Amino acid sequence: MRTQIAIIGAGPAGLLLGHMLHLAGIAAVIVEQRSPDYVLGRIRAGVIEAGTREILNAAGLGARMEAEGLVHDGIEIAFDGTRQRFDFHNLVGRAVMVYGQTEVTSDLMAARRAAGATTIYDAADVTPHDFDGAKPSITYRRDGITHRLDCDFIAGCDGYHGPSRHAVPTAAITQYERVYPFGWLGVLVDRPPVAPELIYARHSRGFALCSMRSATRSRYYVQCAADEDVGAWSDDRFWDELRRRIGTEAADTLQTGPSIEKSVAPLRSFVVEPLRFGRLFLAGDAAHIVPPTGAKGLNLAVSDVAILAAGLRDYYHDRSSAGIDAYSAQALRRIWQAERFSWWMTNMLHQFPDMTAFERRLQRAEFDLLRDSRAAAQAMAAMYTG
């Protein structure tokens, strides 16, 4: 089989890239190691930046998002009992939308089916080949048979553990990483959210977040050990801990119920450079990971893909390689800004092991600056809304 672009990974990055290329008349085949049900079953965040919303709408993918998504004009930050709302619309004239990543993926899958484009699921041993030359390809096994897909370029949209980045020679790639000494214990529950907007809470017992997926489904998190045993947390224990951290006002209105999903997410910051290796491009989680504190993961993936798709359109339509040549540097500028913001939010709001009194006061000073300085609040709002 042959195609112009071989895309490894059918998460949001790979599916969106495939859709954008389809709209541009560029052939792309997506190869995914997992099943469609597995891909859709992954629980992920769902804060959509203003720019991401524009990209999805421009690609004809926003109808359900616009009908069902929740527009948020701000967030609240609670710091040791002091609760402050930051009005994004007033500060920077933009908003975010809450619409689950699972729903974005479902919309992308539906668009790909409607286009009649090829996605190969349950592909084992996916391996990129010869991307340092003129004739790259990927191989994979399915139903016991090894298949080969020849192409012009390979897009590695296969996540942190996927084969694309690991196929790059060690000497050709630089990795930057910060592993945080804690995780987030998250619970999904079919109850209305405790507040109309997200609440980020810093407490001496640890961070907490009140989020949602819809008007009737909520997502809550508490900071925990990175190796926390989920089985040690009953629903009652989780709700008791969450109440302690989010303050009396929110705790009094919290609607609890049986969890429908409970898991621990480790926190890390991770970036690789460059993002292009001959005819192989990395995008999404294959290229970077951000702590969820800044709500940047899905939005960064969409940004990567938009830049790469534009470069590939120029290559095929105008015979210009300027866009794909600039892809890595252009995407990395955005990536590092998002990494900085997520790192800053994480440092301001979490309880770190062995934190000194001086460091705790610095956290408070950061919050006070946001509360008291419009310029500081505007900078935060600009980064949060994208």
Choose the catalytic residue: 99, 140, 180, 200: 200
Annotated catalytic, 38? Answer: no
CB atoms closer than 10 angstroms to residue 186: 23
Same domain, 254 and 332: no
Same domain, 110 and 235: no
Of the residues 203, 296, 327, 350, only one is catalytic, namely: 296
Catalytic choice (12, 19, 22, 72): 72
Active site residue 384: yes
Q: In the prediction, which pLDDT does 43 show?
A: 67
For 298: left if phi > 0, alpha if psi spans -120 to 50, otherwise beta; the answer is alpha
Q: Same domain for 21 and 123?
A: yes
CATH number at residue 61: 3.50.50.60
| Burial class of residue 219 (count of CB atoms within 10 Å of its CB; 0-12, 13-18, 19+) | buried
The answer to the question of residue 80 being in a domain is no
Active site residue 266: no
Q: Is residue 76 part of a domain?
A: no
Residues in the chain with pLDDT values less than 70: 43
Instruction: State whether 139 and 185 are in the same domain.
Output: no
Is the domain of 171 the same as that of 210?
Answer: no
DSSP-based three-state secondary structure for 273: strand
For the question of residue 180 being annotated catalytic, the response is no
Q: The domain that contains 367 carries what CATH number?
A: 3.30.9.10
Which residues constitute the domain of residue 30?
5-70+99-177+268-346
Q: Is the domain of 155 the same as that of 65?
A: yes
Choose the catalytic residue: 292, 315, 327, 350.
292
Q: Are residues 371 and 228 in the same domain?
A: yes
How far is it, in rounded angstroms, from Cα 291 to Cα 52?
A: 18
Whether residues 320 and 366 share a domain: the answer is no
pLDDT value, residue 41: 82
Q: Is 220 a catalytic residue?
A: no
Same domain, 202 and 294: no
250 & 372 share domain: yes
Task: Please tell me the pTM assigned to this model.
Answer: 0.95
Q: Please report the pLDDT score of residue 42 as a whole number.
A: 77
